[in-house]
Structure formats: C-alpha cells, structure tokens
Amino acid sequence: MIPRYSRPDMVAIWEPATKFRIWYEIEAYACDAMADLGVIPRENAQAVWKARDVEFDVARIDEIEAETKHDVIAFLTHLAEHVGSDEARFVHQGMTSSDVLDTCFNIQLTRAADILIADMEGLLAALKRRAFEHKDTIRIGRSHGIHAEPTTMGLTFARFYAEMDRNLTRLRTARDEIATGAISGAVGTFANVDPRVEEHVCAQLGLAPEPISTQVIPRDRHAAFFAALGVVASSIENVATEIRHMQRTEVLEAAEFFSMGQKGSSAMPHKKNPVLTENLTGLARLVRMTVVPAMENVALWHERDISHSSVERNIGPDATITLDFALARLTNVIDKLIVYPGNMLANMNKFPGLVMSQRVLLALTQAGVSREDAYRLVQRNALKVWETGCDFKTELLNDAEVTAALSPAQIDEKFDLSYHTKHVDTIFGRVFGES
Amino acid sequence: MIPRYSRPDMVAIWEPATKFRIWYEIEAYACDAMADLGVIPRENAQAVWKARDVEFDVARIDEIEAETKHDVIAFLTHLAEHVGSDEARFVHQGMTSSDVLDTCFNIQLTRAADILIADMEGLLAALKRRAFEHKDTIRIGRSHGIHAEPTTMGLTFARFYAEMDRNLTRLRTARDEIATGAISGAVGTFANVDPRVEEHVCAQLGLAPEPISTQVIPRDRHAAFFAALGVVASSIENVATEIRHMQRTEVLEAAEFFSMGQKGSSAMPHKKNPVLTENLTGLARLVRMTVVPAMENVALWHERDISHSSVERNIGPDATITLDFALARLTNVIDKLIVYPGNMLANMNKFPGLVMSQRVLLALTQAGVSREDAYRLVQRNALKVWETGCDFKTELLNDAEVTAALSPAQIDEKFDLSYHTKHVDTIFGRVFGES
Amino acid sequence: MIPRYSRPDMVAIWEPATKFRIWYEIEAYACDAMADLGVIPRENAQAVWKARDVEFDVARIDEIEAETKHDVIAFLTHLAEHVGSDEARFVHQGMTSSDVLDTCFNIQLTRAADILIADMEGLLAALKRRAFEHKDTIRIGRSHGIHAEPTTMGLTFARFYAEMDRNLTRLRTARDEIATGAISGAVGTFANVDPRVEEHVCAQLGLAPEPISTQVIPRDRHAAFFAALGVVASSIENVATEIRHMQRTEVLEAAEFFSMGQKGSSAMPHKKNPVLTENLTGLARLVRMTVVPAMENVALWHERDISHSSVERNIGPDATITLDFALARLTNVIDKLIVYPGNMLANMNKFPGLVMSQRVLLALTQAGVSREDAYRLVQRNALKVWETGCDFKTELLNDAEVTAALSPAQIDEKFDLSYHTKHVDTIFGRVFGES
Amino acid sequence: MIPRYSRPDMVAIWEPATKFRIWYEIEAYACDAMADLGVIPRENAQAVWKARDVEFDVARIDEIEAETKHDVIAFLTHLAEHVGSDEARFVHQGMTSSDVLDTCFNIQLTRAADILIADMEGLLAALKRRAFEHKDTIRIGRSHGIHAEPTTMGLTFARFYAEMDRNLTRLRTARDEIATGAISGAVGTFANVDPRVEEHVCAQLGLAPEPISTQVIPRDRHAAFFAALGVVASSIENVATEIRHMQRTEVLEAAEFFSMGQKGSSAMPHKKNPVLTENLTGLARLVRMTVVPAMENVALWHERDISHSSVERNIGPDATITLDFALARLTNVIDKLIVYPGNMLANMNKFPGLVMSQRVLLALTQAGVSREDAYRLVQRNALKVWETGCDFKTELLNDAEVTAALSPAQIDEKFDLSYHTKHVDTIFGRVFGES
C-alpha cells in the first residue's frame, strides 16, 4: 500500500484497530449464541459486552503477541484485561483462530466492496453526466488509431458507462461471494462448537454462514473476488488509455483538468501532461497483479495450510486501497475533463471530407456505377485530398465522371454528419434507459 | 491446443468449418432483417438460404484469402460461388468485418460455456455420489499437513462439491456475460446498418444485442469470461492436490483408478502414480495463464485496435479445450477413485489416540484442574505416545493424577469418534439440501 | 501454436519427427558410451547406428503408444523394428524415460534459442541501418505524449537497438542456461547408469551435463528461459507501441509498408492500419503469459512430479514459435518502415517554435532577468502561440521587454535545432561503437 | 510491504531519508562535474557539499511538496535551505527530474541486489553444510510422491545448493543489468547537460552510464531484474515445498526447528506445523506477482510516460523486502532443520525391500530368465509384500523359481543400499568441487 495512492476510509478498514473491533464482535456474538444454547453461562456472555465501547490498545496487544507469538491469543488476553479474567474465561470456547481470522477477513473484504461499489456509482454518475453533455459532440471514430467514421464524444462516455455498469454488477457479485463467515472449529466439523453459533454470529454481522468450511473458508471465493477487481482495473486502464490518447499534443481533444496553482513541467503552456490517467494505467497493473496469486491460493493442502495468509495480508489491503483510489481519481478526471469540440472537428477534417469517402463509394455503386469504376473515381479524388489537403467534396463536384452519376445535392448529402448520429438516441436509450 | 488434452466436441467449436457456418448464419439472418426493413430485396435475402445445407469448402476459402488477404471477404466470395454473384450482392451490406467476427467469437465462447457447464454438472454428480458413499468414512483432518482432528471423507467430497457448485454459478454468469452480438458498423454508430438488424440476428442466434459497441464488442466481457475459467481451473488444482497427497506412498488413503492393462512404471505394485491429477495440476496452470492477457486486451485504442485478436485466436480455443478436458478427466478420477478407509484409520492412529489430546485437555479443565496442570498432565502422556507409539487412552487410564479428575468412563468417552461426526448431517443438508 | 503466426524452421523443431530423431541420437550415443565402459557389447551399440538415416514413422509409433500407453517404450519398440529386437535389447539400459525426454526438451529449447538469437541479430541489423539512415532526421521528443524537446528519429532507432542488444545477451544467457542434459536414472543417483554415459551423450549433443538432477532436470532453468523470452516480448511491444503511435492519423510520422496489391479497409487512402505492430502487441502478451506457469513449474514434489509436463508441451512450442514469428515480423516492419520526415517537422511546429520556450526561459535568466519575470515574459508570448498558432520567435522579437534582455541574434540562436542534436554522435558512439 | 515480513537493512534502502541522501549525492556530484567543465562556478559546486553530513528533514520536504506538488523541486528547495539560496542556484541545472529519480531508483535496486546476493551466499553456506552432514543419510527418492529408488538427504540439499547457486549468478547478472545511471535531460539528448556530467556521477556512485536513455532509463532492465527475483522466489517455493512434505505427520522425515518457548497449536506434541515454509510458499507468490507488471512497464509511450512509476513505488520495495526476508527465513529453516534419519529408513521400508524390486527384475533377466517370467516372479512376491507387509527379500529367498536363477548371495546383493549411493561423491564433486 502506497500512502499517496490511498484514501482514509478504505485504509481504515485495514487498520489493526478495525480488525480487533471485528474480532471482538465475533467473539461477543459467539458468546451470546453459546449462552442461548446453554453452553456457557449467560452472565459470562453478558460480561463480554462490557468492552462494547472500548478502543482496544493495539500497542498492548502487540506487546502480548511478542510474548505469546499468537495474535488471537494476544487479543483474547487483552480482552480479558477489560472484561475480567474470570468473566472472560469462556470467550472463544470451542473455536479455532481461523474462525475469527477468516470471518474477519471476509467482513473487511465485504466492507471494502461496499466502498468500491459506492465509488463505482460515483463514477457512473460522472460518466452519465458527461455522456449527455457531449451526446452530440462530433468526433472522428478511429480503428487502429486511424480515422474511420464520425461518432460522438457522448457515445465514448456512454460506452465507458456501460462497461463500468457491468463492473458494478461484477463488484456486487464479488461482494456477495465473499460475504460469508465460518465458525466451525479446527477442521470444520463443528466438533466443539455448535453450528448455531456460526449462524448467530453471521446473522449479526451481515454474513451468510459458509455452507461447508474446513479450518478455513474456501479460497475460490477470494480468487473470484480479486479476479473481479482485476477486471475493474482493466476497465480503468481502458478509460485512462482513451484520455491519454486524446490529450497528446497532436490530438488534443481533451485534457485533464489543471488546477490554477498546478504547474506543468515548464514554461510551455502546452506541457500539460495526462499524469493522472498515466498513473491510473500503472495502478491498474498493481491491482491486476493480485489476481494470479489469489488463484494460486485456492489449492491449500488438506484442511488448510497457511500459505495464503502472507499473500492476503498484502493483496487484501493493497488491491482494495489501490482500486478505491483509482476509481475516485478516475471519477475526478471524468468530472473535470476539459473537452475540446473544436479540435475534434479540426482533427476529423485533417483531410477535409475524406472520412466520407466510403459513403460516396457506396452511393456511386448504388447509382449504377460498377464497383471497379466507383473505386477508381473515389480514389483519384481522395488521393488529391491526401496529398494536397484540398477539400474532398469540392473535388468530387468538379469531377465530371462523378457528377454524371450523382447530382450535387446527392453529393452534398453524403457529407451530412447527421447520417452518422441518427442512432445515438437509440444507443443512449439502450445504455441509460433514456436519451 | 494440445491434441492429447482435448475432446472432440469442444475442438469442433473452434474448427474453421464451424466458424464459417456461424458467419453464414449471421449474414443470412442479417439479410432477412434487411429485407424486412426494405433495405434489400426480399429475393436476395431468400437466395442466401440456398446455401443452408452447404458444407463450406475451407480449403477453397483459404485459397481466396491467400489472394485477398482478408478472411471475411474470402468467405463472402466463396458464399457467392454457392448463392450466385448477383443474388449475393447485398450480403454484408453496411456491415463491418468485426460485426461478423466478434459475434461469431461470442457464439463460440457461449457454446464452449455450454459444454463446460455440462462438464461441471457431470463433475458435481460424481462428487455428490462419492460424498454420500463416504459420508461416514472416518479420516484425520489435517492442517499444515499435520494431523488435527477427525473428519470424514464424505466431508472432503462435499466441500469440493460446494466449491464446484459455486463454479457452476460462475460459469453460468460467464456464459451470460459473453452471449452478446453486435452488428453496428465501423465505429458502432449503426450509420450503415439499422439496429434492428442486430436485434434480429441476435434473437435468432440466442444472443443479447450488445447495448453499445464500437467496431468491436467490449473486451471487459471476455476478461470476465477468462477470469471465471481461471477460478474453475484453480479449483481443479485444489481437488487434484488433495488426491495427489492422498495417493503418496506414506499416506495411501486413495488412488487413481488403474485399468487392468495399464502398467505402472515398473515391477513395483506400489508404483501407481497419480499422473492424472498431476496432469490436472499442470492443465490448471495453462488455463490460468490466459487470465492476464485477457485483461490486458481490455484497453484497446479508441474504437478498436487489433492487438486482442492474436491473443484470442490462442486463448479462445486453448483455455476452453483444456478446461473441458480437465473437467472431464477430473470427473473420471473422482468417479473411479479408489478409497482406502482402512489406511485412513491406520494413519489417524499412527500415534494411537493422540488426536484426541485436545478434548482430554478440555475435559480436565472442565473437571476443575487448572489449565497449567491439565496441560502438564496431557503432555506427559502424549509425549510417551509420541516417543514410543503406545496408546494414549491406556496411558491416561494409568495416570493417577488424571483418573483423580476423570473417571475411566469419562476418559473413554473422549475417544468416541462420533463426537466429531455429529454434525455431518447438518453440513450435508446445507450442501446438498439432503443428508 | 497458431499456424498463421509461425515459421517453418521453428515449427520443425517441435515436430514429432524431430523429437524422435533426438531421442534416437540420445539412445545411440548412450549405447556407445556403455560399450566403451564395457557395460554392453560393442556390436549392440554399433547396431543401433543402422538406423542412422531412418526417418522414423510417427504414425507407427503413435500406434504402438496407443497400446503401451508409454511414449518412450513405443519409440524403443519401433526402433527395434529397424535395428532388430535382439540387437536393440540393450538400448536404454539403466536409463529412465525422463533421461531421454528432458535431454530432448532442452535440445529443442537450445535449438529454438539459436533461431531466436539469429532472429535478434537480423532485427539488430535492421535497426542499425535505419538508425544511421535517420540519424539526423529531426523529430519532437515526447514525454507523456506531449511535445517536449527535439530529438532525432535515429536516436529512436538507436535506443531500440540498444534494448534489443541487451535482449540478445539475455537470449544467449538463456540458451546457455538451458543447454544441459541429464542421464541419471530414476531419482538422479546414477544407480543403474554410469555418469560417464551422461558425459558422452552431452558432449556429442553440445550440452553440458546437468551437475545434479533428480528424475528430471531442475525447472529453475526453464523458468529463467521463459522469463528471458518474456522480457524480449515486452521489448517487442515497446517498439510496436512506438510505431502504432507514429502511424495514427494525427501524427503520421511513419507507416508500416503496404504492398501494392494489399488493400486498406476501404476506399480511403489514409486508411492504412498499423496491423502488424498491433498484432505484435498481442503476440507479446502471448509470450509473456508463459512466464508465470514456467515459474509455477519449479516447485515439483520430491524427485519429480509430472505437473510441469502438460505446461511445457504447450509453452515450449508456443512461446518459441510465437517469439520467432514476432521477431521476424518486427524485423520486416523496421526494414520497410516508411518514415515521413516532413510530417515530423510539421508536428514539431504545430505550435511554431513553442518547444523552444524552455531554452528561452533559461537564456533570459542567464541574461539577468529574474526567474519570475522571465517566466512571465515567456508565458505571455507562448500563450499567443498556443491560442493563435502564430510563431513564437516572431512574438519574442516583437516583445520589447524580451529584446531588452536578449539581442535578436541571441533569440535566433535559441531556435537552432543543432543545439539538440550536438551529442547524437556521442550517443551513437556509445551504442554502435561508431557514429 | 508487510512489516512482519521485512528486515531493517532492506527497509532502510527504501526509506525517504535514504532516497534524499542519494538525490543529494547525485546533485552534488553533478555540480562537481559541471564545475570541472566550466559550466557552473566551482564555488557553487563546493557549496553544495556543505550539506554533506546533513540529515535531510523528510517532514519539511513533504511540507514543501504539498505546496509545489513536485518532489524533486521540494527537495531542491530544502537543499537550498541548507546550502544557501544563492549558492544552490546552479544545482540541477540542465537536468530533468527523471535524471535524479531514475538514477536513484537504480542505486536502490543495486543496493537491494547486494543484500540479496549476500542473503543468497548465506543460504548457500547453510545448504552446503547440511548437504555434507547428510551426504550419506539414506532416504527414499520419490517420483509422483511415490517411492522410487533410494537416494540420500545430502543429495537433496546438494540439488537445492546447485539451484540456489544458479540463482546467485542470476542475481549478480540482474544487479549488473540495473546498475546504470542516466543524466541526459528531458528527452535524452544531453541538450542541456554534457554527457560528461553523467559519466562523472555514475563513476562516483558505482554505476555504468546508460548508453542511451530517453527521459528515463529503459525499463527492459527492470523487467529483467524483477524476472530474476521471480525465479529466485520460485526456487524458494521449491525448497519450502520439499520441507512441508517432509514434515507432514505420515512422513516426518524433517521438521522446522521449534524454540523451547514456542507453542504448537495445542496440547498435541505432534502438532508442530511447518508454518515457516508454508509462509515462504506464500511469500514466493508475492515476489512472483511483480514480474508481469514489471514487463508491462517496458512499453512506455515515446520518450516516457509515467505509468511505470506507481508500479515501481510498490514493487521496488515490496519485491526486494519480501525476497530478502524470505531468503533469510529459509536460511534459518535450513540451518536448524531437524532431520530424522530413522524415520527416513522406516518410511523406505514401509513395504520392506519393495523399492529394490526393479533391481531384482533386472538381475533375473540378466540371469537368463525371460522378461515375462521375470516380471511374473517379481510381481507375485512383491504383491505379498504389498498386501501383508512381509519382507521382500525373505519371500524371494523362499521362492524356488527365483532361487533357481539367482543364488542367495546374488539376491542379497540386490538389497545393498550402497549400490544407490556409489556416485554420491561424483555428484558432490560436480556441485561443490569437493566431496
């Protein structure tokens, strides 16, 4: 986790204090359930709640752990310091450390997912607003980086919206996949702890009980979770790449917002670098790199080995903190993106009218010109535009062979941009349910 | 794709003949829709169906492509050879090659998903059968590869069932994500082809129209698809790893089935190697390696670049063919797995009774012995077992300090295996809805 | 392996016939060594060489394997059909299948490396030629896609040269790492085969004996090998990305060569797509994806498990064939790349003279103007250029405050391009040893 | 970076204070060189060294950066506070931020490599010591997890030694690859800074000048660096996997050292978990995951984009700190590994004598028994061992058909373990240069 690429709410989820608070709640609810079942005395269960408002002393717990070499025992020892040794003696009874650790980790991931989902909703709102704002802003569509046919900037925003909307669904699915808890003992048989304890704790903490666990919650859930984050990150890279292209000097169809005080790298006013989206490109790599180790974590030995643990200590916080930051940064970039419609038109007309050559070709053949002749006619005029920068329509109007087949009005009509935007409303309707 | 790791039905999906058949259907249905819209003559649309039963000549198409350097044009040229040049002249009108290529690729992936879903259902059936068969087969649960507490072989099968059942859901989600088609023209604006053509073709071919496409269908869908395959592969590795452990000479709790004719590597009857599950471990790596490039494919430039294409030509067939083979192989392994309940018991009792030491410890403390004393009592007897292989229960019964706290009957009760299996029915109920 | 992305020499390395030929040589040389050691009769060793010029019948071997389920035994059986059962009875004595398989695989990788090394030398030659050709072709350098300061196209080629030259070294190192053989028996102890057999076979086949093997050659060698290919692939992507940027419509500083017959996608002469370099971008992903599974292959169980095998059956051919094709394709692209020096100048002067603003700023401060004032002076003139497209130098010469500090000659000098190219010779000297 | 998996020396390399110290040295040496060249006054260069012993105030620099939004400017501002504004005014002249940042990063990676190299030497020493200690400790070799033929524990250590020795070479190569510096200005042309400045700074700091750079040092170097770390990590996983297998309850041929105070998880003395090597398995995944993003960083746009930066801020510290910790932990594990030769023998004899069945088979055929008969004879006796646990040699001696072909002495000789260890000295000689 790199502080400069993190935001406090997500960081807070991964702080030791949060972890201990969650451990506490798991243990306290478990005691309640055990008291309900008559397994431990009611008053001992109630006593645990004396610590309800305690802020656990992380340094003290670390101190105890340094001795006991066991994090859960250290916490329980510290808890007893608040609750009273005798009152606390039934806490954790029949449970195994992983019951607490794994359930806690899933709660943290679930909360992280909640933030990511909210982030995504924010991004969607920004994309939607910009899509409608630029619904009719004409811009050349490009395949292979080469001008193809006109489209609109609004369609670009709309397709990012649609992609991120799918990612919202993926994040929700990932959240549901990971929102399980397990309190099932050393090898998952509930030998020393009744399944109803698990049910109660999960119900209180907003989790589903893991239908079958071993010592741990199965790691295919986590693999699916991080895979979803990897897809979201790849979509962020997708949007970032578009903006980086748009901002390059020769294109300059958009630019990341520069605050007044912010300096470019020099005296050159054109030197406004798309550093935010370049940064997002890198952050996407960081999130994506966690997918494979999360998948390698699935094949644990028998009822568990602990190889997954060090991996998750890293990728749990790192992937979620980085993705949260990236989503927020991207939202900000989209929100404030400076769009240059004038440059869009100028770029499209770099070779004036040439992007319409295909329509003219089609019109000629539909007017009865053979395909070979039509191609020859279009190409000889197109080449002039290509070589001299003259206007394609003018050339066509001056070409007797062309005008023999198409009237000036017909030729003119082929340069009507609305031909290309006539279905924008339909597409917006599909994407946003409105247009 | 490696022939020895492939099965014919999945291979068939990726054969040129299948691809051309799908292209044909896309084009033919598109003609129907265009005729409905009055864009092309009805008789031309009908003429295309003359080729309904034609098996396209792949060699002939390759020949044409060698000249035209364009696969779709080559196909259309060949199609015209069947339909008649004149009749075929409206085929593909207003469409772009990617309309055909991308829609076809998604159809292939959808069909591949259908096979994988059926494979998974087969695997689930095998796992369920073996789970019930060995529901009560006692076996030591292991954490860190070290004996922990008893469990049953049925629970092992049941947890693989639950994991694969989640994978079934993931495959279904992946299938739905990828089952879209797009016929939207050069940059996705429908400038030259009405959106209703897309709708008709998709309806006929069992796809949803892509709400917004560029020249191509957005690749986040494919990234999510391959990510799902990667999770499934990781689960296969998980099951394979368990079996490989079970078959190792010192454990020998299970073995892959050996056909009569099949030779181990030598004259040694114990030399039956778990080569199928080792192979599955490798195949899992092959499927998993496709996840990152599929994610790298998401960030195409503007309305498309073609960098994704070579990647997909490889990972499309390879990942699906390999995973299909792996699922089928695993199903076969599970179906015929030889389980050795006797060895399971023998392993559990390598240090007779020792796995119950924790229960005895608990019982002593519950009987009023201080935690320190209880620990000392258990440990001194446990160490004898550990060092000499004697029986733990016998030692306890002979230890006066122990029997002062616990009666022989109470001691005996701690060695009752049913203590560990009492919730197996509950867990089976959760997993299978029955027990 | 995708046929369209493959070349025959590399494909030949991976054909069954090649494999059997290598197996044959390993076995034949091993017999020689065993005869030298007196372990088997000389005449039996000599008899094996009767098959020296035989082309082994792959179909026949497959047929035998279908029965024996063992590839090496099938081959040995077929060999006996040529040599005579009796004469062949000592072939493979004391050896284990992996002795043959692993040594063969390393020979194939070594030969593959030799081709890749030759490919790389070809690419270097092309890059060097183009570097000298365009040593002085002025072009704007860009950071963040934004114009920075002038450089030359020759320097671009030169840095790709330097990078590929490092890759040549990496390929040579990778080749040396993988050029080992092992004939050490079932667990690597040479129990049944003398180490001198290994030494002889390796010497004959151009390999170093593996200092210590188990049943297999250690897989860290292969991991390092594929990692080297992954780095090379990433460099290919680097060059490809540069060219894709240069060819985009708004930049158009270079273009992939189009053969006369080849059609762009349409009637539009500008529609020449950088499909080769886009393809290379995808191929780079395919090579790179093999790195992680090659690393996952390192941790085999004990003296070997067979999980690596299916992985290598795939990535061995696929990564080398793809990389060979990619290197050849890139060499061709570089060789024939159409460079547009005029467009380079035009792009640089999109905002006439503006890229020199930093030098002017520096000159003003060195002339005694305070940094704040200098910045203000430069920026007010630069902004005019930015907004109106006027010429920066003209504006400066017309700004009294500027000319108060700098003479017209001094101002003029700041626009001298040779200032930026004065060290090109030095850099060429470093890279090529000549300039 | 996870504090619990880090060691102070490696962490120190990545602390802000270290970074600023390196920046300072780069700037100061650059001033020296510029003074030598007469570009700046000698006294200004000398003035910079006034800060030679200053500990830069990280908080103060952060404070300035919060304002200027530029890390290098913030540092230079702070430096001026120590050196004097006027004296410091030539610092960084003609240089670009990346000159400092990239050269610094490579120095940090070089120092990190030095630590890793020392770590590796430590690991090699431990492996060598244990190899000689257990040179003759007999142990069963296993392929596929199944008993094959005898080997020795010393050979296991020796092969890990050989593998790590190759990794030492890889680390040294990686170190040399990364030990370059660049001070070449905004696009690498040395327009504003003489190449001799770069040469001087590099010479002083133990680096080679980068032959050709852009704004940045080319990232193929870094890709190769992290790839090398990934291979090393995979070898660590290899050793860790072996130990985890050896420690499992049923095998118990070795165990990680337990300090006296340390508790297993319970009252069970057998419950000593191989948590260190399990942890190493996870740490290997963490290092390995950095390889692909490092490779994705290679293809920067034109003369640089900043996408690599966020990636490197993470993987630079994380991969080196984790690998340093892992190497140290593994060294400790090897150093203190408890080896159980008795259990090794017991395991080998789980089926008494059976691992010799192949030798007996060979002997029978060499004695003239037909292969079919020999196989039948061996198998009928082997099966008894397999089924009843009786002794293979005894059975053979009691089988008249066997003794008809082989004398008791001949049979006995086949069970001589020294047959399998006769080349251990040769192998040790190859690996260690001594035996």
Q: Tell me, yes or no, if A149 comes closer than 8 A to chain C by beta carbon.
A: no
Res C254: pLDDT: 97
**What Rg, from alpha-carbon coordinates, does chain D have?**
31
My answer on whether B23 and B156 are in the same domain is no
Domain with A112 in it: what CATH number? 1.20.200.10
Res C343: pLDDT: 96
The last residue of a domain, from among A58, A74, A93: A93
My answer on whether B9 and B63 are in the same domain is yes
Q: Tell me the pLDDT tens digit for each residue of A57-95.
A: 999 999 999 988 889 999 999 999 999 999 998 999 999
The last residue of a domain, from among A29, A64, A93: A93
Residue B190 covered by a domain:
no
Residue B337 covered by a domain:
yes
Residue A226 covered by a domain:
yes
In which domain, by residue range, is C402 found? 354-414
Q: Tell me the pLDDT tens digit for each residue of C53-88.
A: 999 999 999 999 998 888 999 999 999 999 999 999
CA distance A257 to chain B (A): 21
Res C140: pLDDT: 97
Q: Tell me, yes or no, if A224 comes closer than 8 A to chain B by beta carbon.
A: yes
Please give the average per-residue pLDDT across A301-329, as a whole number: 98
The residues, any chain, with a CB within 8 Å of residue B407's CB and separated by 6 or more, are none
My answer on whether B271 and B162 are in the same domain is yes
Mean pLDDT for chain B overall: 94
Percent of chain A with pLDDT over 70: 97
Res D386: pLDDT: 83
Q: Give the nearest partner residue to A267 out of C245, C274, C361, using CB atoms.
A: C361
Q: Tell me the pLDDT tens digit for each residue of D193-220.
A: 999 999 999 999 999 999 999 999 999 9
The last residue of a domain, from among C93, C116, C131: C93
Res A182: pLDDT: 98
Q: Tell me, yes or no, if A247 comes closer than 8 A to chain D by beta carbon.
A: no
Res A366: pLDDT: 85
Does position C262 have pLDDT exceeding 60, yes or no?
no
Res C68: pLDDT: 83
Res A383: pLDDT: 85
Res D69: pLDDT: 83
Which residue has better confidence, A38 or D370? Answer: A38
Does position B63 have pLDDT exceeding 60, yes or no?
yes
Q: Tell me, yes or no, if D288 comes closer than 8 A to chain C by beta carbon.
A: yes
Check C191 against D419: CB less than 8 A apart: yes
Q: Tell me the pLDDT tens digit for each residue of D414-423.
A: 999 999 999 9
- B305 CB neighbours in chain C (<8 A) are 244, 278, 281
Does position B100 have pLDDT exceeding 60, yes or no?
yes
CA distance C86 to chain A (A): 49
Residue matched to tokens 């529901």: B135
Q: Tell me, yes or no, if C163 comes closer than 8 A to chain D by beta carbon.
A: yes
Residue D430 covered by a domain:
no
My answer on whether D102 and D39 are in the same domain is no
Res B276: pLDDT: 97
Q: Tell me, yes or no, if B3 comes closer than 8 A to chain C by beta carbon.
A: no
My answer on whether D173 and D31 are in the same domain is no
My answer on whether B137 and B35 are in the same domain is no
Q: Which of A429, A402, A339, C148 is nearest to B211 (CA)?
A: A429
Does position A266 have pLDDT exceeding 90, yes or no?
no
The tokens describing A137, both together, are 């802003």
- Considering the candidates B143, B259, B265, B266, report the single residue annotated as catalytic: B265
Res C2: pLDDT: 83
My answer on whether D71 and D144 are in the same domain is no
CB C9 within 8 A of CB C115: yes
Residue A201 covered by a domain:
no
Residue matched to tokens 């240089």: D95
Q: Tell me the pLDDT tens digit for each residue of A363-414.
A: 998 898 988 888 889 988 988 898 888 999 999 999 999 999 999 999 999 9
CA distance C261 to chain D (A): 32
Res B67: pLDDT: 87
Please give the average per-residue pLDDT across B209-230, as a whole number: 98
My answer on whether A257 and A336 are in the same domain is yes
Nearest chain A residue to B164, by CA:
A220
My answer on whether C28 and C120 are in the same domain is no
Does position C145 have pLDDT exceeding 70, yes or no?
yes
Res D267: pLDDT: 53
Residue D435 covered by a domain:
no
Res B118: pLDDT: 98
Res A278: pLDDT: 98
Please give the average per-residue pLDDT across B248-264, as a whole number: 80
Res B383: pLDDT: 85
Taking the C-alpha atoms of residue A317 and residue A14, their distance in angstroms, rounded to an integer, is 6
Mean pLDDT for chain D overall: 94
Which residue has better confidence, B286 or D434? Answer: B286
Please give the average per-residue pLDDT across C113-117, as a whole number: 98
Mean pLDDT for chain C overall: 94
Q: Which of C317-321, D331-335, D381-385 is least confident? A: D381-385
- D376 CB neighbours in chain B (<8 A) are none
Which residue has better confidence, B216 or B3? Answer: B216
Nearest chain A residue to D302, by CA:
A248
Does position D236 have pLDDT exceeding 90, yes or no?
yes
Q: Which element (helix H / strand E) includes D151? A: strand D146-152
My answer on whether A58 and A146 are in the same domain is no
Q: Which chains form contacts with chain D, at 3 or more CB pairs under 8 Å? A: A, B, C
CB D240 within 8 A of CB D278: yes
CB B54 within 8 A of CB B361: no
Does position B93 have pLDDT exceeding 60, yes or no?
yes
Q: Which chains form contacts with chain A, at 3 or more CB pairs under 8 Å? A: B, C, D
Does position A288 have pLDDT exceeding 90, yes or no?
yes
Q: Tell me the pLDDT tens digit for each residue of D73-127.
A: 999 999 999 999 999 989 999 999 999 999 999 999 999 999 999 999 999 999 9
Q: Tell me the pLDDT tens digit for each residue of C12-59.
A: 999 999 999 999 999 999 999 999 999 999 999 999 999 999 999 999
Residue A298 covered by a domain:
yes
CA distance B213 to chain D (A): 27
Residue D433 covered by a domain:
no
A245 among known catalytic residues: no
CA distance C1 to chain B (A): 7
Domain with D73 in it: what CATH number? 1.10.275.10
- HEC readout, chain A: CCHHHCCHHHHHHCCHHHHHHHHHHHHHHHHHHHHHCCCCCHHHHHHHHHHCCCCCCHHHHHHHHHHHCCHHHHHHHHHHHHHCCCHHHHCCCCCCHHHHHHHHHHHHHHHHHHHHHHHHHHHHHHHHHHHHHCCCCEEEEEECCEEEEEEEHHHHHHHHHHHHHHHHHHHHHHHHHHCEECCCCCCCCCCCCCHHHHHHHHHHHCCEECCCCCCCCCCHHHHHHHHHHHHHHHHHHHHHHHHHHHHCCCCCCEECCCCCCCCCCCCCCCCCCCHHHHHHHHHHHHHHCCHHHHHHCCCCCCCCCCHHHHHHHHHHHHHHHHHHHHHHHHHHHHHHCEECHHHHHHHHCCCCCHHHHHHHHHHHHHCCCCHHHHHHHHHHHHHHHHHHCCCHHHHHHCCHHHHHHCCHHHHHHCCCCHHHHCCHHHHHHHHHCCC
Check B314 against C286: CB less than 8 A apart: yes
Q: Give me the number of domains chain C comprises.
A: 3
- D362 CB neighbours in chain C (<8 A) are 192
Q: Tell me, yes or no, if C292 comes closer than 8 A to chain B by beta carbon.
A: yes
Taking the C-alpha atoms of residue C228 and residue C207, their distance in angstroms, rounded to an integer, is 20
My answer on whether D66 and D116 are in the same domain is no
| pTM of the model as a whole | 0.97
Domain with A368 in it: what CATH number? 1.10.40.30
Looking at residue D430, its amino acid is R
Res D426: pLDDT: 97
Q: Tell me, yes or no, if A268 comes closer than 8 A to chain D by beta carbon.
A: no
My answer on whether A338 and A248 are in the same domain is yes
Res C365: pLDDT: 86
Does position C187 have pLDDT exceeding 90, yes or no?
yes
Q: Which of A338-342, B102-106, B261-265, C244-248 is least confident? A: B261-265
Does position A418 have pLDDT exceeding 90, yes or no?
yes
Q: What is the ipTM of this complex?
A: 0.96
Q: Give the nearest partner residue to C269 out of A142, A267, A379, using CB atoms.
A: A379
The pLDDT-based confidence of B271 (bands split at 50, 70, 90) is: confident
Percent of chain D with pLDDT over 90: 86
Q: Tell me the pLDDT tens digit for each residue of A269-281.
A: 667 899 999 999 9
